[in-house]
Amino acid sequence: MKFKYSKFSAQPSAAFPDLKEVWRPVVPVTICHNNQEYGYLALVDSGADSCIFHGYIGDLLGIRVREGKTAPLYGVTSGKGEVFYHQVELAIGGWKIKSKVGFSYDLKYPLGILGQYGFFEFFSIVFDLKKLVVDLRPKYL
């Protein structure tokens, strides 16, 4: 299934001072847990180890977020953060997968993150920046 990239304002950068906007591979995802669902936008991020979502979403789904297996979180926080892992179901492009994902109250990035474990392990992904399309193809579904 193909998804169009989304446009965002560029952050100031010495390397690209004239860059005003950037395009990113963002897909809609529904996070499901115990008959609760939350629709959300997430960045397809090949550099992320795992899927990370904002802590309040876990709260809304009735997950006791801070009771999950914990680990440090770097890169998408202001300094070091903490992430709590839980098993959920993700619905993406008509497919449903059972996935271990992290929830963090320290996530400063405005979108959820779809990473290697919990997402890339289930899909083959083709990024096409020129066409501004990301194509997801299920591996085992």
Residue 102: CATH number of its domain: 2.40.70.10
Structural domain includes residue 17:
no
84 and 103 Cβ atoms separated by less than 8 Å: yes
Per-residue CA distances from 21 to 5, 17, 26, 77, 114 (Å): 12, 11, 15, 22, 22
pLDDT beneath 70, residues of the chain: 75-79, 141
Structure tokens at 18: 């004239």
Question: Tell me, what's the pLDDT at 13?
Answer: 81
Q: What is the pLDDT of residues 101-133, one digit of tens each?
A: 999 999 888 899 999 999 999 999 999 999 999
Global pTM value = 0.90
Structural domain includes residue 13:
no
Structural domain includes residue 18:
no
What is the domain extent for residue 64?
2-8+24-138
Q: How far apart are CA 42 and CA 112, in angstroms?
A: 4
Q: How far apart are CA 121 and CA 135, in angstroms?
A: 15
Domains: count for the chain: 1
